[in-house]
Amino acid sequence: MDQIKQIIKESIDVKERLLNDPILVDKIRISVDLMTATFKNHGSLWFCGNGGSAADAQHLAAEFTGRFYKDRDPLSAEALHVNTSYLTAVGNDYSFDLVYSRLLKGKARKGDLLVAISTSGNSANIIECIKTAKTIGVPVIGFTGETGGKMADLCDILINIPSKDTPRIQESHILVGHIMCYLVEENLF
């Protein structure tokens, strides 16, 4: 029982640090404004991540295309990893480092937005995708852990959760993502 309570407390502590960080809270607001503008201008949101971050990417894309709270029209959002035939072909024929960047290059347009998720901020395929976004003129919101890793210098907006513990970072990523979904939906509908 003590371990369970300790884990819950650690999760709450990370969220309290996030809550009490005015710079991070402002970055969330700025991200919401950017997402809202992207949708208002008929752009798309593209998400990428690996492992649990891929699950978060797919989850958040679904909240935008389906619904969050409101019964409303779908918004254009997609996780870049959902086509397993593509993912395995490019991973095999080229490199796993290029699976997201090649797809983004083929699909994204100026006026779109990339949300790149990596707890370490150092995933090679996420870094390559961010670099490709920059060549297309697509801004990037990065979700990372405390240090931001290599993504810190590449993202237009960095949501670096104040923790070095992967599960706590991922829990806060989905919290921030849900906040963004809620506020974007409120702004548009």
- DSSP lists the bridge partners of residue 128 as none
Specify the pairing of strand 45-48 against strand 77-79. parallel
Residue 60's pLDDT is 99
Residue 1 pLDDT > 90, yes or no?
Answer: no
Q: Is 26 exposed, middle or buried (0-12, 13-18, 19+ CB in 10 A)?
A: exposed
Residue 189's pLDDT is 98
Helix residue ranges per DSSP H, 73-138: 84-93, 99-107, 124-136
72-102 pLDDT, tens per residue? Answer: 999 999 999 999 999 999 999 999 999 999 9
4-34 pLDDT, tens per residue? Answer: 999 999 999 999 999 999 999 999 999 999 9
CATH of domain 2-188: 3.40.50.10490
Residue 74's pLDDT is 98
Q: What is the dihedral of CA 13, 17, 19, 21, to 10 degrees?
A: 180
Which structure tokens are listed for 183?
């506020």
Smallest Cα–Cα separation from 106: which of 142, 76, 138, 60? 138
Whole-number mean pLDDT of the chain?
Answer: 98
Which structure tokens are listed for 112?
């779109």
Task: Report, as an integer, the average pLDDT of 47-68.
Answer: 98
122 torsion bin: left (phi>0), alpha (psi -120 to 50), beta (else) = alpha
Q: Distance between the two ends of the chain, CA-based, in angstroms?
A: 44
* CA distances (Å), origin 157, targets 25, 57, 100, 132: 12, 17, 19, 16
